[in-house]
Structure 1
Amino acid sequence: MRHPVKKVLAALAVTTAAAALTAVPAQAAGIPGFTIVVAPHGGDTLQHAQKLARTLSARADVHVELAGGTYRLSAPLKFDGEDSGRNGHTITWEARAGQQPVLSGGQAVTGWQLHDPSANIFVADVPKGADSRQLYIDGASAPRAAITIARTDVQVTGTGLTIVNPALNYLASLPAQNRIEVESQNSFTDRYAPVQSISGTTITMQQPAWNNNNWGYDTLARPFAGGTLLLENSYAFLQTGQWYLDPAAGKLYYKAAPGQSPAGKDVELPRLTSLLQVSGTYDRPVRNLAFRGLSFEHTTWLEPGTSIGYADQQSGAFLASAFPQPADFLTSCQIGCPQFEAARNSWHQVPAAVQVSAADTISFEGNTFAHLGQVGLGIGNDANAHASGVGLGASGITVRRNTFTDDAGSGIVVGGVQPDAHHPSNSAMTTKNVTITDNLVTNVARDYKDMAGILSTYVTHAVIEHNEVSDLAYDGIDVGWGWGANDPGGSQDYRNRGLYAYQPVYTTPTTLKDTVVRYNLVHGTKKVFHDGGSIYNLSANPGAVIDRNYIYDNHNTVGLYLDEGSRYVSLSDNVIQDAGVWAFTNASSTNNTNDNTLTSNWYNTGATQVATGAPHNNVLDGNVKITDGSWPPAAQDVMRDAGISPTGH
């Protein structure tokens, strides 16, 4: 049993941590343990509990129990090496039995008044200077003010856009033009670029966001397969159910449906950009922490609205600074160019609301990551995605039986994309032994639609099993990074593109190996982007196993996708239902998508596009096409067992 610290901080408006220390009883015989009880009032009660837990963690396991209610954080909770469980003990931050604590980075918005009766637009006061890209109403994200335009309404120039459709000439008369953004949904990228000013028919865009969004691959100027173009974030764009925030005036506007009002609704305006930061150092990582039964809610991420924009490259990696470009980049660098390759190793990652780096033996179980303005949980990402400034280095991380929903970015992102992620300069940087099991990841990547539900990049032994991943614009589960360019011997493709003028050809393997993707239920993917796959691998992944997954409802796209440089991956006993292409290898004479095996999989529709024979030597063996709708018993077993298991593991 646990020994309570005399209900230390009980109801936690009653005492300070310093006073509570005097109430700690001597250790009793038997199973040691301390319980600290926290309630959602009393100012900095969580910080007091954190300080107290530090003093006890060397003596026994410590449980910090949070009573039900909303804890409105004025700053993120930060855990470093001092917050570790010591001497083999664990500090667990958890919900009290039967209760639902919410760690919120938001502010409740009340006091709504009718602003424009003819349009049913309401207004409420918020603190001046408060900014957010998200708003949550009655437990769901509400869209920002936006209109869809045709790509033929505008012409792309080196400095912005020229208005071609006279119906858009009113844009020059709008206030706060530098808060307007262009969103371009392409084949696999989802790009945001902010406006600088509008004069007549000339829209000048902020830099470097504009240039960065218009070179490389699948650009705003030349998407591979068209896609939706939107103008966002102006009062003039308000449509029913949408909102607009004026930070300078401290006013929040909402256009309600006829006869309705936001008054009386739970309206949450995010104020924080992260909630929980778990990060030590490589010499002294955070150890032995657990988080159970908590809800993490109401954050935003503001960088896409700045001059940086969101120059998306793939699955949450983006360009975050200016780079030398050819003068004719709008023509010479729409399918890559050598100068673009010079930027490749500087891509940034979208940060997470809950961040874990330089950490060992950390677990998340039974939590909810909902209504968040970026990635839900980031594990061992690059340093640029961690507020601590320390990236990578996550080991022994367990993510079990959590729910990720209504988040702007991916549910979970593990690993980094920069050189220290794949060839670490310090072995302690390696992100390894991460288990992601029995989680529900649904309806995430709502704003940054290019992101997968779960992404694991350069990780040694990631185990992703028995998850349900659904309702996504892009992919379900993505594994790997680098397009084979960082694997031993490099890639002829990237020799041709000029990458190796800016980085070495590595002779040793990357940290990516021994990935397990098993018994996952993946459905409702590819709602916006046709490129990619429901389950996807990128680059060499020795020892990787992708088996017994059930994929359906992927909008007639690719089920199992082995992208450039994929090697040594075994895919077996998967069920792929109603796909356009059930298995695909992106193999060419200049890449190394080789030596993979696809055996004993079942599918009922779709082409087989796998490069077998020399030089790729991918193997297809024993795969069965079901033509009569009668799945064999072994396939039915996979369909039944895939997804969240009833009892967990």
Structure 2
Amino acid sequence: MRDEAAKGEGDVTAVLADGTYRIDRPLEFRAQDGGGDSHTVRWTAAEGAHPEITGSTQLTGWQNYDEAANIYVADTPAGFETRQLYVDGIAAPRAATSLALTDLTLTPTGMTINNPELAYLADLPDQDRIEFESLGDFTDRYSPVQSIAGDTITMTQPAWDNNTWGWDTVQNSLLADSKWFMANSLGFLDQAEEWYVDPEAGKLYYKPADGVNPEDLDIELPRVETLISVGGTYDAPVSNLEFSGLTFDGTSWLGPSSAEGYVSQQNGGYIKGVYDYRPADAFANCSRGCDPYERTRNTWFQIPSAVQVSAADHITFAGNTFRNLGSSALGIGNDDNAMLTGVGLGASNIDVTGNVFTQVGGHALFVGGIRADAHHPSDPRMTNQDILIENNTISHVAVEYQDTSGILSTYVTRAQIVHNEVRDLAYAIDTGYGWGINDAGGSQEYQNRGYYQYNPLYQTPTTLKDNLIAGNLVHDIKADFADSGNIYNLSASPGTVIENNYMYNVSGVGIYLDEGSRYTVSRHNVLGDANPWVFTNAYSAGNGTNDNTLQENWHTGGEQMPNAEARNNRLIDNVKVSGNDWPSGAWDVICAAGVAPEHRTELNVNLGGIDPRCPTDVTKPQVTLVSPTAAGPFKELTVQVDASDDYGVEKIVANIYQGSALVKSTQTAVGGAKTGTHSATVTLPEGDYTIKYNAQDTSGLISQTSTFAFTIDTTAPTVTIKNGAKETVGSDGTYSLVSFKLNDAGKIDKLTLNGVEKDLVNNAWSDLNYVKPGAFGGVAGLNTLVVYDVAGNAQTLTFTLS
């Protein structure tokens, strides 16, 4: 593929046949693997195929280990570690046990066991593999155990120190009580579908449901952390690369299994390492923030994703499935520490459309960075911009790192998060980051906390602006965290609009405008079951949550908008309804929310329509091919397709195929008008091609796909001088009489001699005979002959007549 792309002779397509492609190291796509400025490189599924690119290996050879407990064992490579196991496509939970807050007393070095029923912990083998998990009010934290002796649990450093200072710490959650668990010991393996791996022994233990033999299950053991890496440099980015129709799965992120644990700060941002400025009394006096802790904020890390994109432009993921991935699924323009290439940010014109994300450890989509170059890039090429996230289905993600959201877009310019369905997780769609601390003029709240003693106070805006969150369907959001929002924003985001979203069966706040949120507009959203339907965190003037407008939304809950007038947070013409008694305008939003019909799967709640009261469009668009009307040959293709639909045309598509391979995709977004036109001029290599064209209406219905065959001819005619004495007198470009033979496989159309045109009969050959001054436009002196084929290619010959 790299060699073919380097030829620069047009689009290049790799067609993957059906099957499972197992890899043991990441697939790396660099600048030379893209199409550059001139063409596109595509990796796509063969028609009707469902190729799977996986980093896992199938685990077989199960033997009964403990018949009474229904536990089986299988061999794994010695020393092999994993945090994930996938059973029939579902992420199986590690062996774990829940704890009451009274069972333990947390200390600066670990824990004291209070509950005598937990005395068995001291007798467990491999104690340094045990992990303590704490679900706070907005964080999900993991800390490894070092040892257990008697009633004393000593925790591994630096994870314990890091998890016990800052905000929402393991010993001092922000608002409500934490939830505690111990995990990753064979001694905890007591529930169906749990598992435990022993790397030293090379064994994996699994407890299936009663009556199930694991040999009858597809049990997959992930072997890699990164599956796909798309990344160049700012001087040489990856450009024009597409992935479609593929399944990406089979990864595990091992970072939390180290002495660092996982020290979540918020939504995929975490700290690690030793902070020499952490106070000695931090456990007691810095568990709800302190001056030195503020120094960490611009050094936070980001969860790495299984599929990564940075220093890249015009990259497309369309119609793929992301599943069984141990960290976040698709990371776009994250900080350099989260990228395999070591080059972060710099993502532009990235399209993520029509994909399915399920059974993922972290975010489905993780866009943007959080360090300084993300919000104030030192090189403008670092800016993350023009990211389209559309028609994606996101279900059962954040299964391992539960404080991550389905979609997170941090410091991004012109992100469009539109018509996605997000369900079955704790946080749905989050935008922004930084609590306003990096906005122009900074944050008074963080001035008070001491942040600017250690970090810059910027006087210029961040890159967070002009984003659109629209038409999304959010539902079945779990009440796992006390501090939660369904559509959430941090920091100033001028030009950002939140509109036409529908949420129901949700917990927590509907639209949550947290610290520093400014200059946003939320309108025409339908917020069922959210209470409050809106919260603006403006209790203090220092929070900087100002100048937001919420207009003409429909809701069932109350609002929580402290100091609204003083902070210029405006409520305009919003309507509270009772139950499900939505007015007609709200029904328009409800019925249009979520992914378009052609992208829906069994995971989508509106597979058959979200509600019987929604109008049903059963008529497909009408489509007409205006150009070409003949098969050619053409020097280049000019295509025009017109479409109409009573409900409105969404887009018109005309794709060019050579055989079964897609070589060029062209389309026009019509945007709901009842009529539309798509036109494009396409340069192609010589050969035979087919146009396949159709249109999609606003209801998602697609017209019948029609085809039209044509030929491209890029070879000019050949012109040779006849040698017979009767036809030609003279030589070496000077003649008193000259005759020509004209040939072209695509047929000769016409010629001009000194501007005098002669129409020919469109044969593969023709003649121009007995040219002399005064005949056929010939003149004494220099003459110019131009011969054209029917495709418009021309051959020019000059000669002298005496």
Fold in common (TM above 0.5): yes
The number of residue pairs the alignment matches comes to 596
| 2:247 corresponds to which of 285, 295, 306 | 295
Q: Tell me the distance in 1 between the aligned counterparts of 2:530 and 2:100.
A: 29
**1:107-506 superposed matches below 5 A:** 107-224=57-174, 225-239=176-190, 240-323=192-275, 324-472=277-425, 474-506=426-458
Corresponding residue number in structure 2 for 1:104 = 54
**1:27-106 superposed matches below 5 A:** 50-56=1-7, 58-106=8-56
Query: Which structure is larger by alpha-carbon Rg, 1 or 2?
Result: 2
**1:578-593 superposed matches below 5 A:** 578-587=529-538, 588-593=540-545
| 1:565 corresponds to which of 516, 521, 524 | 516
**Kept after mapping to 1: 8 A contact 2:36/2:238:** no
1:618 has 2:569 as partner: yes
Runs of 5+ unmatched residues, structure 1: 1-49
Deviations 1:354-396 (A, max 9, x none): 0000001000000000010010000000011101111000000
Q: Tell me the distance in 1 between the aligned counterparts of 2:511 and 2:11.
A: 44
Deviations 1:201-249 (A, max 9, x none): 1111111110111111111011121132100000000022100001111
Q: Tell me the distance in 1 between the aligned counterparts of 2:310 and 2:71.
A: 44
SS at match of 2:137: coil
Deviations 1:129-166 (A, max 9, x none): 11110000111111000000112111111111111111
1:600 has 2:557 as partner: no
1:554 is displaced (CA, Å) by 1.1
1:74 is displaced (CA, Å) by 1.5
**Kept after mapping to 1: 8 A contact 2:5/2:12:** no
SS at match of 1:284: coil
**Kept after mapping to 2: 8 A contact 1:581/1:609:** no
**Kept after mapping to 2: 8 A contact 1:288/1:362:** yes
1:271 is displaced (CA, Å) by 0.4
SS at match of 2:542: coil
1:87 is displaced (CA, Å) by 4.4
The letter of the residue matching 1:131 is E
Q: Tell me the distance in 2 between the aligned counterparts of 1:246 and 1:297.
A: 23
Q: Tell me the distance in 2 between the aligned counterparts of 1:180 and 1:143.
A: 14
1:527 is displaced (CA, Å) by 3.1
Deviations 1:398-433 (A, max 9, x none): 000000000000100100001110011111111111
1:607 is displaced (CA, Å) by 3.4
SS at match of 2:564: coil
Q: CA distance change for structure 1 residues 626 and 307 in 2, over 3 Å: closer, same or farther?
A: same
1:530 is displaced (CA, Å) by 2.7
Runs of 5+ unmatched residues, structure 2: 600-650, 652-802
SS at match of 1:436: strand
1:647 is displaced (CA, Å) by 5.1
Deviations 1:299-336 (A, max 9, x none): 00001111111110110110021112111112211221
**Kept after mapping to 2: 8 A contact 1:526/1:534:** no
Q: Tell me the distance in 2 between the aligned counterparts of 1:175 and 1:421.
A: 45
Corresponding residue number in structure 2 for 1:46 = none
Tell me which stretches of 4 or more aligned residues in structure 1 moved more than 4 Å. none
Deviations 1:481-522 (A, max 9, x none): 010000010011000111001111100000100010000001
Return 524-533 or 494-503, whichever deviates more: 524-533
SS at match of 2:477: coil
TM-score normalised to the size of structure 2? 0.73
SS at match of 1:568: coil
Q: Tell me the distance in 2 between the aligned counterparts of 1:153 and 1:308.
A: 25
TM-score normalised to the size of structure 1? 0.90
Q: Tell me the distance in 1 between the aligned counterparts of 2:576 and 2:33.
A: 54
Q: Tell me the distance in 1 between the aligned counterparts of 2:149 and 2:513.
A: 47
**Kept after mapping to 2: 8 A contact 1:457/1:512:** yes
| 1:544 corresponds to which of 474, 493, 496 | 496
The letter of the residue matching 2:516 is G
Deviations 1:514-569 (A, max 9, x none): 010000001111331131210001000010000010011113x1000000000000
Q: Tell me the distance in 1 between the aligned counterparts of 2:338 and 2:479.
A: 27
**1:521-540 superposed matches below 5 A:** 521-540=473-492
1:605 is displaced (CA, Å) by 2.5
Q: Tell me the distance in 2 between the aligned counterparts of 1:499 and 1:227.
A: 27
SS at match of 2:373: helix
Corresponding residue number in structure 2 for 1:27 = none
SS at match of 2:329: strand
SS at match of 1:584: strand
Q: CA distance change for structure 1 residues 618 and 103 in 2, over 3 Å: closer, same or farther?
A: same
Q: Tell me the distance in 2 between the aligned counterparts of 1:61 and 1:322.
A: 50
Q: Tell me the distance in 2 between the aligned counterparts of 1:145 and 1:102.
A: 28
Give the structure, 1 or 2, with the largest relative contact order (CA under 8 Å, sep 6 or more).
Answer: 1
SS at match of 1:356: strand
**Kept after mapping to 1: 8 A contact 2:536/2:560:** no
Q: Tell me the distance in 2 between the aligned counterparts of 1:264 and 1:420.
A: 50
1:610 is displaced (CA, Å) by 5.2
Q: Tell me the distance in 1 between the aligned counterparts of 2:41 and 2:16.
A: 13
**Kept after mapping to 1: 8 A contact 2:2/2:32:** no
**Kept after mapping to 2: 8 A contact 1:398/1:436:** yes
SS at match of 2:585: helix
SS at match of 1:75: coil
Corresponding residue number in structure 1 for 2:648 = none
**Kept after mapping to 2: 8 A contact 1:585/1:611:** no
SS at match of 2:381: helix
**Kept after mapping to 1: 8 A contact 2:37/2:239:** no
Q: Tell me the distance in 1 between the aligned counterparts of 2:416 and 2:132.
A: 38
Q: Greater share of strand residues, 1 or 2?
A: 2
Q: Tell me the distance in 2 between the aligned counterparts of 1:326 and 1:341.
A: 12
SS at match of 2:544: coil
**Kept after mapping to 2: 8 A contact 1:578/1:606:** no
The letter of the residue matching 1:121 is I
**Kept after mapping to 2: 8 A contact 1:445/1:452:** yes
Deviations 1:574-633 (A, max 9, x none): 00001120011001221210000000000022334354212x111110000013642110
Deviations 1:441-486 (A, max 9, x none): 11100010000100000001100000001110x2110000010000
Corresponding residue number in structure 1 for 2:592 = 641
Q: Tell me the distance in 2 between the aligned counterparts of 1:611 and 1:550.
A: 27
SS at match of 1:483: helix
The letter of the residue matching 1:581 is P
